[in-house]
Structure 1
Amino acid sequence: MKNLEELSEIARAVAWGATDILQSYYRQDSETPNLDIREKKDGPVTAADVAVNSYILDELQSILGNAEFGYLSEETYKAYLEKNGKVALTQDWVWIIDPLDGTRDFIDRTGEFAVHIALAFEGRPVLAVVAWPEQQKIYYAIRDAGAFVESRDGSAVKLQVSGRNILADLSIVTSRSHRGDRLNQLLHKFPCQNQLAVGSIGCKIATIVEQKADVYIALSGKSAPKDWDLAAPELILTEAGGRFTRFDGSALQYNRGDVSQWGGLLASNGCCHDALCGDAERILGEIDSGLK
């Protein structure tokens, strides 16, 4: 098998190709977009999602095959689920792919959408790529080798989260659309009140590794973030010096069969991570007690 450095180069090249496809859809005449938008249970799907998904899978599978690697993709998982049920892919090495993270932001033209490509080994990410097309940037990481941001000319800069460590000074990056009542109440009582609204989870984590924010919280309700939402951003954050865990401090696991990451999740620059998780768990407990 190719080493992780070679696999990262392949994934980054594929991500740049996916960026070009997304921008070809995004740059269409806004009055006559050919997006073929379909509303589904977990959110909208467009022709851009489908086209980029096919491109990424075709590229990776043509280069790497299907023997050593499994492929867990947002746009193909439903068919896999119908055939196999909630059963994890059998390969130890699994590509986890979100062809368009932030579809609603893509449709609403906020510019805050991303492509996620991660490679997990035995349920944990070892390689990650997040492309932010409108910024013409690719964020990437290999386990134990740091995180970097690559520009279109191929130049790369190493990433490091901020060192801010006073709770009141921390900035929390939040969603514009995926905010239920429990999350709004949690954010209202949270010690970090400096808020920055950003779309895609990949773009949110990019703001943290670029030191423009420090904290992100995901809280499941009727639905939960999926493996493909989190695997790539998680590794990029942790390799830049941050942390990404459940509220109880436990690590996320991927390719478990159930792709939903239930419960409370917190990403941060790491400086006050345990305290923030404790605050989130306590506040959420108070909120839930009040709802009974």
Structure 2
Amino acid sequence: MADTVRAIAWGAMKILQTYYQGEDSAQLNIDHRKPDGPVTAADLAANHHILEKLTAAFGTEAFGYLSEETHQGQDPLPQDWVWIIDPLDGTRDFIDRTGEYALHIALAYQQRPVLAFVGVPEANKLYFAAQGQGCFVENGSGGEIRPVSIVAPAPDQALTLVVSRTHRDQRFQNLIDQLPFRDRHYVGSVGCKIVAILEQQADVYISLSGKSAAKDWDFAAPELILTEAGGQFTFFDGQPLRYNRGDVCQWGGILASNSPQHLALCQLATQTLATLPI
């Protein structure tokens, strides 16, 4: 199964790169009407490729398909096995050509991810993980595959937070301003943020819902590649994330890290948040 999905992911990444490298921005057909952010022809083309190939390989009886570009309704999919797909995570960065966009494909079983793929097209890398089997990165399609393990910071080492350049309301800004991070590393998509932790460019990522929240397809694949590499990815109260619950929004505070201080950071975030105005 993993080999099949890796091939599908590389095919989708090639589609994204073709659009990204095109000189005519009009070919993107950018649609700004979607409440959660713009949609481009690249999102739709990659999504079509992924769904077409996955359904051909695995069918629709045992497997459900939860994709950002086709999701409708508020009921959970009935299948125990659900593919959770974001064909282009970081569309704004894609449009702005920062290079910080990613592809997410995850397979969840009974609401928890068991197989995950995060592709970073502009780095020509595909990170993938299976539950209990570790995390790996493939350098180029058919290229070298090597294991990925986080390097935990020393107990007295100051930590670096990876955060978006935008998408921060004032409450979230107040929270991260009061937490003891040495530095901030600004990155676009969630997938690229978690890769920054894997590649020792950052230590902690925080998400805090406000009027809106990150969605299932933002987190399912990045969560598993981080945890299989030895990191942690939880709500502030230490509880695991659940997917395909009907409401695709992941409300609340979520923290991902490479740090042995993960739970202490969660507790500090909760205590700090309690002091801030709603």
With the length of structure 2 as denominator, give the TM-score of the two structures: 0.97
Deviations along 1:129-188, one digit per CA (max 9) or x if unpaired, are 000000000000000000011111421111111210446611110001211111111111
Provide the rounded CA distance (Å) in 1 between the counterparts of 2:3 and 2:168. 36
Calculate the aligned-residue CA RMSD, in Å: 1.1
Provide the rounded CA distance (Å) in 1 between the counterparts of 2:129 and 2:12. 18
Provide the rounded CA distance (Å) in 2 between the counterparts of 1:209 and 1:168. 17
Provide the rounded CA distance (Å) in 1 between the counterparts of 2:26 and 2:166. 22
Residue in 2 that maps onto 1:11:
5
Deviations along 1:27-62, one digit per CA (max 9) or x if unpaired, are 1115x4311111111111111101111110000001
Residue in 2 that maps onto 1:3:
none
Counterpart amino acid of 2:182? Q
Q: Is the 8 A contact 1:167 1:191 kept in 2?
A: no
1:175 aligns to 2:168 (yes or no) = no
Equivalences for residues 1-292 of structure 1 within 5 A: 7-30=1-24, 32-39=25-32, 40-78=34-72, 81=73, 86-152=74-140, 153-166=142-155, 169-288=158-277, 291=278
Q: Is the 8 A contact 1:167 1:272 kept in 2?
A: no
Residue in 2 that maps onto 1:4:
none
Between the two proteins, the alignment pairs up a number of residues equal to 276
Provide the rounded CA distance (Å) in 2 between the counterparts of 1:253 and 1:88. 12
Provide the rounded CA distance (Å) in 2 between the counterparts of 1:91 and 1:244. 24
With the length of structure 1 as denominator, give the TM-score of the two structures: 0.92
Q: 1:179 to 1:114 in 2, by over 3 A?
A: same
Provide the rounded CA distance (Å) in 1 between the counterparts of 2:233 and 2:201. 17
SS at match of 1:59: helix
Q: Is the 8 A contact 2:153 2:259 kept in 1?
A: no
Deviations along 1:85-129, one digit per CA (max 9) or x if unpaired, are x11100000000000000000001000000000000000000000
Deviations along 1:206-256, one digit per CA (max 9) or x if unpaired, are 011111111000000111010000000000000000000000000000000
Listed as ranges, the gaps of 5+ residues in structure 1 are 1-6
Provide the rounded CA distance (Å) in 2 between the counterparts of 1:215 and 1:148. 20
Question: Where does structure 1 differ by over 4 angstroms across 4 or more consecutive aligned residues?
Answer: none
Same amino acid, percent of matched pairs = 55
